[in-house]
RNA sequence: GCUCCCUUCGUCUAGCGGUCAGGACGUGGCCCUCUCAAGGCUAAAACACGAGUUCGAUUCUCGUAGGGAGCGCCA
């Protein structure tokens, strides 16, 4: 069997959204699983709506996710000569024809058809007509779709879907502005690039019979198709900005890890028994387009958040640290002036779901402590806190090699010698260090402050105590 | 309107004629505990509806209802 070749072919009219990302992921996995190639192609034939910024956004999104392509990116705008050549071959072979019907005429015809409850479509007026073309109209080129018979799509996810050629019309393959249309461009590209598996959103299922007819006219082998169900918003409506981030890079800004987003996406419409957690290696080994579900699924941020925390907790801190620094810098903290990103990760990863939250919670160890929570102070910075705080100060001042473990030992010893539970020492100390009642375990909370700053904050707290 | 597609807990899903309909997220409870979490245990929670096939349907067939997509000189 020839090698598997898949492609991801977004049109650069916006950002890389989660639906596109999943399509890309599935295509990527299918190629990797078979040791084949994954190709990136930018479908920018719509010169009106395509932008360079969108191209860059898609490239950046793919790079962030780590979905590396083996070939490309190819740009359709750079292949116009090829499309033109193929269109003219079709013309010469009598498999396509010029159509001089104006846009206005077309529109009037469609309006009339709709008024009569019919499916709006081209009536084939110029298909076999030999009359003199009207002056002042630049013709388009239409494909001669077969008039009769069925087209059967053997879809890898949908199964066997049959279309009646009588339902199809002669689609335009070449515009009057001298550019190719989508349905024509994809076929030429997929054929030229020897794509074996077309994996795309199911909004393309209805285009498939037309495309198959073009393959046939071209004498090219027809690839296998897999049409993926779409991803909806939490409310079941089409995913939009209203639902939060739709742009993949927006998830980065919200503090998600690529591993989490990828893992979440792979489980949308696909599963492997009861398994929820998949490494990239496992996805590649286990994924198959043949096992994809038929129905649309909703995007559930809560589950994504759970997965993200899972990866925060299990991935090597050193691996995540660079991404955390990116977030720290993003909220105005200098990643190199405060605690190490790795230490912050260890102390906070069980308490947050995203790196954005983590960075925000890390703020207390970067900025000077000026804000104290009133309730926390009232409850814990009482006269009774004097002795424990002083003991903590003494114990911490005596630590020679500053580490979370050393802090832990020092504090426990101090509490024990006072005959107090650790809570009696930890809570006042927690308020002293953070100004609040909530923080990571007391040893990490103190450790992250650094020895000098910790002692300084205890002194400040001691000064606030009632006499 | 026409064509095509879809339908299991709130959500993601397992199931492939006989199951107490399983797991996960979320939610409630309990345990653990220096706060908050994390973790462990536990509870509630689903086969859209109606026929048919069958000894037996969540599972197969057909309808109904409800959702979605397409019908562009957009992709």
User: Under 8 Å CB-to-CB from A67, ≥6 apart: which residues?
Assistant: A8, A24, A25, A28, A38
Backbone angles phi, psi at A94, to 5 degrees: 75, 20
- Our measurement of CA A191 to C1' B18, in angstroms, reads 49
Distance in angstroms: CA A160, C1' B57: 24
Query: Which nucleotide is nearest, taking the CA of residue A153 and each C1'?
Result: B4
| Selected catalytic residue, list A103, A238, A241, A313 | A241
From first CA to last CA, the distance across chain A in angstroms is 85
**What value of ipTM does the predicted structure carry?**
0.95
Closest CA to A151 of A91, A216, A197, A86: A216
Find and list the nucleotides of strand B having atoms within 7 Å of a protein beta carbon.
1-8, 10-14, 22-26, 33-39, 67-75
Report the distance from CA of residue A173 to the C1' of nucleotide B23 in Å, as an integer.
Answer: 49
Can you read off the two tokens belonging to residue A123?
Answer: 């009536």
Shortest-distance nucleotide from A415 CA to C1': B34
* Phi-psi domain of A188 (left: phi exceeds 0; alpha: psi -120 through 50; beta: other): alpha
DSSP SS3 for A99: strand
Taking the CA of residue A115 and the C1' sugar atom of nucleotide B52, their distance in angstroms comes to 39
The answer to whether A170 and A142 have CB atoms below 8 angstroms apart is yes
Residue A224: enclosing H or E segment and its boundaries?
strand A224-228
Q: What angle do CA A56, A186, A83 make, to 5 degrees?
A: 100
Q: Say if residues A22 and A265 touch (Cβ distance below 8 Å).
A: yes
Specify the DSSP element, H or E, that contains A360. Answer: helix A355-362
The answer to whether residue A313 is catalytic is no
Of all protein residues, which has its CA closest to the C1' atom of B3? A167
Tokens representing residue A261 in the block: 């987003």
What is the greatest pairwise CA distance in chain A? 107
**Which nucleotide is closest to A297, CA to C1'?**
B12
Which protein residue has its CA closest to C1' of B13?
A271
Q: What is residue A271's predicted lDDT score, i.e. its pLDDT?
A: 96
- Residue A429 confidence (pLDDT): 97
Tokens of A368: 């000077």
Strands of A71-75's sheet, edge to edge?
A71-75, A37-42, A5-8, A197-201, A224-228, A150-155, A159-164
- The whole-number Å distance from A215's CA to B1's C1' is 31
Cis? peptide before A73, omega within 30° of 0? yes
Q: Which nucleotide is nearest to A76 (CA to C1')?
A: B75
Res A2: pLDDT? 64
Q: Which residues of chain A have pLDDT under 50?
A: none
Taking only the tens place, the pLDDT of each residue in A55-83 is 999 999 999 999 999 998 999 999 999 99
pLDDT in the model for residue A321: 98
Q: CA A167 to CA A323: how far, in whole Å?
A: 52
Give the nearest nucleotide to A268, CA to C1'. Answer: B12
pLDDT per residue as tens digits for the range A92-126: 999 999 999 989 999 999 999 888 888 899 988 88
Token duo for residue A36: 């084949």
CA of A165 to C1' of B67 (A): 27
Give the pair of three-digit tokens for residue A289. 């387009």
């Amino acid at each position: 069997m020839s090698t598997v070749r898949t492609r991801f072919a977004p049109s650069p009219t916006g950002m890389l959204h989660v639906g596109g990302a999943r399509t890309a992921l599935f295509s990527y996995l299918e190629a990797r699983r078979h040791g084949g190639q994954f190709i990136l192609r930018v479908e920018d034939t719509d010169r009106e709506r395509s932008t360079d910024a969108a191209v860059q956004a898609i490239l950046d999104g793919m790079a962030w996710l780590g979905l590396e392509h083996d070939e490309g990116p190819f740009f359709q705008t750079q292949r116009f000569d090829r499309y033109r050549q193929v269109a003219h071959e079709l013309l010469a072979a009598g498999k396509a024809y010029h159509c001089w019907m104006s846009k206005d005429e077309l529109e009037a015809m469609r309006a009339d058809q709709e008024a009569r409850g019919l499916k709006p479509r081209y009536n084939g007026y110029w298909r076999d007509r030999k009359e003199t073309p009207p002056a002042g109209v630049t013709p388009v080129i239409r494909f001669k779709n077969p008039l009769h018979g069925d087209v059967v799509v053997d879809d890898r996810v949908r199964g066997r879907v049959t279309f009646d050629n009588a339902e199809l019309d002669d689609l335009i393959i070449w515009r009057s502005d001298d550019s190719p249309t989508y349905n024509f461009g994809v076929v030429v590209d997929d054929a030229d690039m020897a794509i074996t598996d077309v994996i795309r959103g199911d909004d393309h299922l209805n285009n498939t019979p037309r495309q198959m007819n073009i393959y046939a006219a071209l004498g090219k082998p027809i690839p296998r198709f897999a049409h993926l169900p779409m991803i909806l918003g939490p409310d079941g409506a089409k995913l939009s900005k209203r639902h939060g981030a739709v742009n993949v890079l927006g998830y980065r800004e919200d503090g998600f890890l690529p591993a989490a987003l990828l893992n979440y996406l792979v489980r949308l419409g696909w599963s492997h028994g009861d398994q929820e957690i998949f490494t990239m290696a496992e996805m590649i080994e286990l994924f198959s387009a043949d096992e994809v579900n038929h129905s649309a699924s909703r995007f559930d941020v809560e589950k994504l958040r759970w997965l993200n925390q899972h990866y925060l907790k299990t991935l090597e801190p050193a691996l995540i640290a660079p991404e955390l620094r990116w977030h720290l810098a993003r909220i105005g903290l200098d990643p190199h002036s405060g605690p190490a990103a790795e230490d912050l990760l260890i102390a906070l990863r069980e308490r947050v779901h995203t790196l954005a939250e983590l960075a925000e919670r890390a703020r207390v160890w970067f900025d000077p402590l000026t804000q104290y929570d009133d309730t926390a102070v009232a409850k814990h910075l009482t006269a009774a806190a004097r002795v424990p705080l002083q003991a903590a100060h003494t114990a911490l001042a005596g630590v020679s090699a500053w580490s979370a473990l050393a802090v832990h030992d020092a504090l426990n010893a101090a509490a024990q010698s006072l005959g107090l539970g650790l809570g009696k020492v930890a809570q006042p100390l927690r308020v002293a260090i953070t100004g609040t009642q909530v923080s990571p375990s007391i040893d990490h909370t103190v450790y992250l402050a650094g020895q000098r700053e910790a002692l300084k904050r205890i002194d400040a707290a001691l000064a606030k105590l009632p006499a």
